[in-house]
Amino acid sequence: MKEIGELNLPDDVLYSDDHEWARLEGETVKIGISDYAQDRLGDITFVEVPAVGDTFKQAEEFGNVESTKAVSEMLMPIGGEILAVNETLEDSPELLNQDPYGEGWIIEVKPDDQAGLGSLMNKEAYVKMLEGMD
């Protein structure tokens, strides 16, 4: 497993305390799991995603990630309607391990209220939270 200093934690995303990330892209938000989450899960073998058009509240479960170690639920970092799902993950779930902030994005949502992003952490706050966990 990676040390905290070895993690890829981009500055242009916000982080939830459940290890999902959210990146505002105009009027929509792309969501995935953090490098910390994929590292702790190990080799990811399956990703269960919601359907386009589904709506979820902030902190509501929207899918699961299965790895060789565990099954982990994913929780919405911001409430909204699912506009797109990364269908590539169906055949290539390992993209979550290889590129969690790029090709490994999971869903794109139209947020109910962008103000919900204010409850998420920037990189510095997320690192402090991770340091407190280890």
Q: DSSP letters of 30-84?
A: EEEE-HHHHHHH-SEEEEE---TT-EE-TT-EEEEEEESS-EEEEE-SS-EEEEE
Quick: pLDDT tens for 5-20.
Answer: 999 999 999 999 999 9
* CATH tag, 4-121: 2.40.50.100
Quick: pLDDT tens for 82-97.
Answer: 999 999 999 999 999 9
Using pLDDT thresholds of 50, 70 and 90, give the confidence band for residue 134.
low
pTM of full prediction above 0.75: yes
Q: Where are the domains of the chain?
A: 4-121
Q: Which of 28-32, 43-47, 112-116 has the lowest mean pLDDT?
A: 112-116
